[in-house]
Amino acid sequence: AYKRLSEQGFEVAVLPVDRFGVVSAQALESAVDERTVLVSLMAVNNELGAMEPIDAAAKIIKQKNAPALLHADAVQAFGKYPLFPERRGIDLLTVSAHKIHGPKGAGALYVRSGVHLVPQTVGGEQERRLRAGTEPTIAIAGFGGAASVLEPGKHLPRVTALRDAFVRELQTLDDVVLNSGSDASPYIIHLSALHRPSEVLLNFLSENGVYVSAGSACAKGHRSPVLAAAGLDSERINSALRISLSDKTTEDELQYCLDVLRQALRVIRKKR
């Protein structure tokens, strides 16, 4: 999206991140000025689980007296954390159904009262004339059902405890290094099993009933721009695994994942 904006004549600043994928608040402050019209950040990075500086961004926009709208991609945060967009100075917030156990193909955009958007898809009256096309009614209803039973933040302490115990066991495994920071979202654990290609690991794990990923669906089949931006070397990128937890994850499931991962490290020969 930002490349298209650049092609349309907008000046786009892509901010650097640290080794855990956290956007630099200092770089953000330097980039925002009286000409800035939009600041867009993830609330939680979808690969490394980094908690991005949303509140700092809102404060910087206000301090710089910038006309910018603040957009938060909250797909990985929705239902897991209390969000309160208006209270936090968020003007636009995107969420997706499939991350809260709803159906794929439905999402939502929160628009703060007073913000007026130009439609990107025209030709119909749907969605308050903002997005033409027939709505997927069943998927939307499923999204509403999943959202109606959410209790944001309720499961965070339990999931954090599960993540911490899991990570302690991971740190005992040879050739396994963690890429997620200690203050990352506990719902995402990112690691590299050095010298074992991600694809081979994924196949072994899935054949044994463990389903994880090597990156985000957005970059499927391509080198992860998130990991490259975080400065990870080729070995860690090529052997990366992302393990996602949910409010329904159990201790037994994580123990089984560890057992299969240990087996994978023994069986899969190191690739030098």
Active-site residue set: 218
* 226: its two tokens: 């998130």
Phi-psi region of 89 (alpha: psi -120 to 50; beta: other; left: phi over 0): left
At what angle are helices 156-170 and 251-267 packed, to 10 degrees? 20
Question: Are residues 137 and 117 in contact, defined by beta-carbon separation less than 8 angstroms?
Answer: no
Closest CA to 248 of 147, 148, 143, 154: 154
| Class of residue 195 by CB neighbours under 10 A (exposed 0-12, middle 13-18, buried 19+) | middle
DSSP string covering 209-272, please? T---BSS-GGGTTS--HHHHHTT--HHHHHTEEEEE--TT--HHHHHHHHHHHHHHHHHSPP--
**What strands, in cross-sheet order, belong to the sheet with 188-193?**
176-178, 188-193, 240-244
**Number of C-beta neighbours around residue 65 at 10 A:** 9
Which residues, 6 or more positions from 124, have their beta carbon under 8 angstroms from its beta carbon? 132, 133
Q: Which amino acid is at 55?
A: D
204 by DSSP, 3-state: which?
A: helix
